[in-house]
Amino acid sequence: MKHYTNINDLGNLQKAVQEAMELKKNPLQHKTLGEGKSICLLFFNNSLRTRLSTQKAAQNLGMNVIVMNFGSEGWELEFEDGVVMNQNKSEHIKEAAKVIAQYCDLVAIRAFASLTDKEKDKAEMVINSFKKYAGIPVVNMESATGHPLQALADAITMGEFKTAHKPKVVLSWAPHPKALPHAVANSFVEMMQLQKADFVITHPEGYELNPEITKNSTIEYDQKKAFENADFVYVKNWSSFKDYGKIMNTDSSWMITSEKMKLTNNAKFMHCLPVRRNVIVTDEVIDSENSIVIQQANNRTYSAQIVLKKILEHHE
């Protein structure tokens, strides 16, 4: 694998999940693969899980890790061509990406959506500019439109907890006071389209995700109906895609409660974290035995590790 910017870059999701499960049994089994190699983790936005798990994954492979909070510590970057740079942007991506590639063999990037310019966000300017100019493998640690490391961790987690051959999986919108990006939901949908499952997306009308991503996925506007007989309930907030980046409602009746979970087939509760308790989900649900959010977070390490391993092997 040359780059990892989308879940489809894996080629075979089921095989990657199996390999990650094997890796998890002995995380240090490839501890010399990355010897002498460095990875730069560049954060244009905050992180807890992605930062620590990707660092741990790289270290498990013997890599040297360089972390930079680019959003607060780097020069502000210009991405447009032919601009007279006499305003606040100090460095062009053309130099910055090539310079970064002098210090590392792989680069991983977190750069969220602006939520103000749909076309620019869809163009994935940051990730694609690094791909274009750095000349080294690029890993997406959550971009404007996707979070494929999270989606792979979710697939590993569902693989560990599923009891049915074709489980019912529900992706449910839940309310949030701030406008959040679509990246996690998009990658979850893309990942579910590669799975044997009865997959349903539920959200209030007006919160449809990008139809180019949801394609033929089932959408059910009645959340309670969607929850019936579900084996997994995956919860996430996102802002409007149609009325781009806007909050259409914060209806607390969409919060995940024990009453709603009783409609399911004793479903596992999933969330990528961070989560706002008693806004997205009640304490009772997230503290219940059916909540597997910590196991999901743990699998972020093995998701990142299998991705880095595949890239290192490709470039051996």
| Angstrom distance (rounded) from CA 84 to CA 60 | 44
Q: Does 273 bind ligand CP (CB under 6 A)?
A: yes
In the complex, the smallest distance separating the C-beta of residue 308 from ligand CP, rounded to whole angstroms, is: 16
In the complex, the smallest distance separating the C-beta of residue 273 from ligand CP, rounded to whole angstroms, is: 5
| Angstrom distance (rounded) from CA 213 to CA 227 | 22
Q: Does 236 bind ligand CP (CB under 6 A)?
A: no
Q: Of all residues in this chain, which one has the CB nearest to ligand CP in the complex?
A: 50
CB nearer to ligand CP: pick between 105 and 154? 154
CB nearer to ligand CP: pick between 41 and 138? 41
Q: Which stretch binds ligand CP (CB under 6 A): 5-13, 16-24, 206-214, 267-275?
A: 267-275
Question: Which tokens belong to 301?
Answer: 């390490």
Q: Count other C-beta atoms under 10 Å from residue 26's C-beta.
A: 10
| Angstrom distance (rounded) from CA 20 to CA 226 | 30
Tokens 């972390």 locate to 67
CB nearer to ligand CP: pick between 30 and 173? 173
Q: Which residues contact 209 (CB under 8 A, 6 or more apart)?
A: 182, 185, 186, 189, 201, 238, 241
DSSP string, 165-226: SS-EEEEEE---SS---SHHHHHHHHHHTTSSSEEEEE--TT----HHHHTT-EE-S-HHHH
| Angstrom distance (rounded) from CA 308 to CA 305 | 5
Show the binding pattern over residues 107-146: x = contacts ligand CP (CB under 6 A), - = does not.
-----------------------------------x----
In the complex, the smallest distance separating the C-beta of residue 58 from ligand CP, rounded to whole angstroms, is: 15
Among 6, 140, 150, 299, binds ligand CP (CB under 6 A): 150
Q: Count other C-beta atoms under 10 Å from residue 246's C-beta.
A: 12
CB nearer to ligand CP: pick between 78 and 172? 172
DSSP string, 48-85: SHHHHHHHHHHHHTT-EEEEE-HHHHSPPEE-STT---
Q: What is the Cα 21 distance to its own chain's centre?
A: 19
| Angstrom distance (rounded) from CA 174 to CA 243 | 18
CB nearer to ligand CP: pick between 300 and 309? 300
CB nearer to ligand CP: pick between 67 and 101? 67
CB nearer to ligand CP: pick between 34 and 181? 181
Q: Which stretch binds ligand CP (CB under 6 A): 157-165, 216-224, 257-265, 266-274?
A: 266-274
CB nearer to ligand CP: pick between 1 and 272? 272
Q: How many residues bind ligand CP (CB under 6 A)?
A: 9
Q: Does 69 bind ligand CP (CB under 6 A)?
A: no
Tell which positions 1-60 bind ligand CP, by CB under 6 A: 47-50
Q: Which stretch binds ligand CP (CB under 6 A): 5-13, 255-263, 271-279, 282-290?
A: 271-279
Name the residues that contact ligand CP, by CB under 6 A: 47-50, 142, 150, 272-274
